[in-house]
Amino acid sequence: MRHESLVDLFKNRPSLAAELLAEALGVALPVYSEARVASVALNQTQPAEYRADLVIVLHAGEAPARVIVVEAQLRRDDDKRFTWPAYLAVARDQHRCPAHLLVVAPDPAVAAWCAEPIELGVPGFVLRPPVLRSEDVPVVTDVAEAARRPELAVLSAMAHGATDRGAAIAGAALPVIHGLDDERARFYYDLVVISLNEAARRELEAMMKGYEYQSDFARKYIALGRAEGRDEGRDEGRDEGRDEGRVEATARSVLTVLRVRGIDVPDAVRERVMAQKDPEVLERWLERAAAAASLAEVLDEPS
């Protein structure tokens, strides 16, 4: 999973944080009418500034009922033992309502570290971070459920795509993704397909065989392993088509992550990325794109 990809799912569906706290982790929340993304800057009057990954405010009418600080944690960071309590205290002060923390940690070892109690020093003041592990994410194989909550369907694929249920999860998500706006559809499609292992990709292709997608987006990105001009019945051609499809999907993922993170990509760079056929280079670029501050940090290779 990529840090920015996780955060974007919660940003695109603000109620997802509350839904997972309540449904997956059993946290009691107040009745609310709307969930809104709030500023991630948790500032005080002093110069210190705290920036969470995402802040969601649950509203009962216009009044804040609960604030949820969402943190996507992919690796151990000892600073978080100090900043998480600060995030909650400042968010509670800013929005004048109780505050919750939701830590999304796919890696089991990182999740175990995140869940360790944080002693604040005052007797009885202990923060026990609620941690959403991969196994806590609901398995979404029903198309109706995927249509109701596309972001949960994508998160389900990211968490369980490499399991024996990966193809069924992707099979529920892809028809729903097909109906979204083009930018979100491309982004979500990349997240789903990259999360599948080879067995799940083959099973999904068999499930989708003969299904005709009508949009340009679907013809380009959902015809798994199909390539124009490929001779039917030739195993070599099928394998080559699948490989080309994965390379193209990875290249588009690089561009999507850069776009979502607000990094401008000139046409010449876009063409360079799409022309790259080495999957190892593309994977390296994709990893850098998740955290890099500039295009140069992503594409420049050491001499």
pLDDT digit string (tens) for 256-270? 777 766 688 888 888
For residue 35, list its beta bridge partners: 58
Q: Which is more confident, 45 or 288?
A: 288
Say whether pLDDT at 213 is over 80: no
pLDDT tier at 250, thresholds 50, 70, 90: confident
Backbone angles phi, psi at 197, to 5 degrees: -85, 175
For range 19-45, the mean pLDDT? 85
Say whether pLDDT at 155 is over 70: yes
Half-sphere exposure of 75 (CA within 13 A, CB side): 3
* DSSP label at residue 78: T
Helix (H, G, I), strand (E, B) or coil at 56: strand
Q: Which pLDDT value is given to residue 178?
A: 77
Measured between alpha carbons, how far is 255 from 273 in angstroms, rounded to an integer? 8
Q: Which pLDDT value is given to residue 151?
A: 96
Helix (H, G, I), strand (E, B) or coil at 269: helix
Alpha carbon 34 to chain centroid distance? 22
Q: Which pLDDT value is given to residue 212?
A: 44
Non-local (6+) Cβ contacts of 219 within 8 A are 213
Helix, strand, coil percentages (3-state) for the chain, rounded to 5, are: 50, 15, 35
> Taking all residues of the chain, what is their mean pLDDT, rounded to a whole number?
82
pLDDT tier at 245, thresholds 50, 70, 90: low
Q: Where is average pLDDT lowest: 1-15, 49-63, 228-242?
A: 228-242
Q: E strands within 61-107?
A: 63-72, 99-104
Q: Which of 64, 74, 66 is nearest to 27 (CA)?
A: 66
Both tokens of 25, joined, read 């982790």
Say whether pLDDT at 83 is over 80: yes
Percent residues over pLDDT 90 in the chain: 50
Q: Which pLDDT value is given to residue 104?
A: 96
Q: Which is more confident, 125 or 228?
A: 125
* DSSP label at residue 134: G
In the numeric block, the tokens 């005080």 are attached to 44
Say whether pLDDT at 228 is over 50: no
Q: Which pLDDT value is given to residue 299?
A: 85
Q: Which of 71, 73, 67, 62 is nearest to 30 (CA)?
A: 67
Tell me the pLDDT tens digit for each residue of 167-206: 999 999 988 887 788 888 888 988 898 898 888 888 887 7
List, as own/partner pairs, every contact residues 135-138 make where C-beta atoms lie below 8 angstroms and the sequence separation is at least 24, other chains included.
135/159, 136/20, 136/24, 136/25, 137/20, 137/24, 138/23, 138/24
Q: Which pLDDT value is given to residue 203?
A: 86
Q: pTM of the full predicted structure?
A: 0.67
Q: Which of 102, 101, 110, 100 is nearest to 75 (CA)?
A: 110
Helix (H, G, I), strand (E, B) or coil at 278: coil
In the numeric block, the tokens 């380009």 are attached to 220
For range 57-82, the mean pLDDT? 94
